[in-house]
Amino acid sequence: MTSSNDRPVEREVVRDFREAMSYGDYLHLDELLSAQHPVSRPPHHDEMLFIIQHQTSELWLKLVLHELRAAMRHLATDDLRLALKNLARIKHVQRTLIEQWSVLATLTPSEYLEFRGSLASSSGFQSQQYRAVEFALGNKNAAMLEVFRHDEPRQRELAELLAAPSLYDEFLRYLARQGWPVPREVLDRDVTKTHVLHDGVVEVFRGVYSQVDQHWGVYEACEDLVDLEDSFQVWRFRHLRTVQRTIGFRRGTGGSSGTGFLARALDLTFFPELYAVRTELGD
C-alpha cells in the first residue's frame, strides 16, 4: 500500500546523466563544494561556518559588481530604466548580505579563538571584490592597490575601476545630458579621486526634489541610490557589531585596528549631495 506521503518520480524525469548535463555539472558543484578547507589542526567544527560565510559573501559581491557594471553601462547609454532594474536587484542582494551577519554572530568568542590563530594574516580587509564594489560606488583609494600587489589580475581590475567613472559619475553625466545644470568641474573631475560634496550638485537635486511629479524617473533613481547607500551602511554596521561581539577590541588578523577601523568606515559616503539636499528642502 502506498503512503499518502509518497511522491513517485514521474516517468518523464531525466535519470541518465552519463551524456546529458546534470544540475551538478552546470553549477560545478564538485568544485564549489570541495572549496572549503579548514586550516586549524585538528579542524575546528566552527571554522566551516566561518569559511562558508565568507565564501558566500564573495559570491554575492561578485553579483553586486556584475550588476553595478551593467547599471553604469546603461546610464552611459541613457537607459535609466534598465539601470534602475540593476539597482533593484542589488538592493535585494544587500538584504541577503546584511542578514548573513546573524549567522556568523552565532560564533561565540571562545569558539572563534579556537581557530583564529590559524588565519594568520588573512583578513576580510583583503577582499578585492569588496574594494571593487567600493570603487564602483565612488569610494576611490589608490593606496588599496598595494594590498593586491601579489595578485596582478586582481590588482589590474582594481586599477581599471579606479580610473573609470563611478556609478555616481555616470548618473551625474546622465543628468547633464538630460539638460540638468550639473557643474562642468564636476563632470570633468579626476575620477580616480573620491567625489566630494559640491553645492552646485545639491542645487540640481533641489530642483528634482522640489518638483517630483515632473521629474519622477530621476527622483526614483535618486531614492534608489539613497537606498543602496543606506543598505551598504547597515551592512558595515552589522559587520562592526558582529566583529565587536566576537573579538571585542582586538586588532584585526590583517593588522588593522579592528573595530576602530570598521567604525571609521561609517563616516564614508558615496552620494553626499543626495543627503545634503534633504537639509535644503523647504528653505
Binding-site positions for substrate read 50-54, 112, 116, 253
How many angstroms separate the Cα of 232 from the Cα of each of 13, 19, 223, 246? 43, 44, 14, 21
Contacts of 173 (CB under 8 A, 6+ apart): 75, 76, 165, 182, 187
Handedness of CA 111, 113, 115, 119 (dihedral sign): positive
Per-position DSSP letters for 89-158, written without gaps between them: HHHHHHHHHHHHHHHHTTS-HHHHHTTGGGGTT--GGG-HHHHHHHHHHT---GGGGGGGTT-HHHHHHH
Binding-site residue numbers are 50-54, 112, 116, 239, 253
How many other CB atoms sit within 10 Å of the CB of residue 140?
22
How many other CB atoms sit within 10 Å of the CB of residue 227?
15
How many other CB atoms sit within 10 Å of the CB of residue 161?
22
- Asked if 185 and 178 touch (Cβ cutoff 8 Å), the reply is no
Handedness of CA 169, 93, 96, 45 (dihedral sign): negative
Binding-site residue numbers for heme are 239
Locate 96 and state its grid cell.
Answer: 541577503
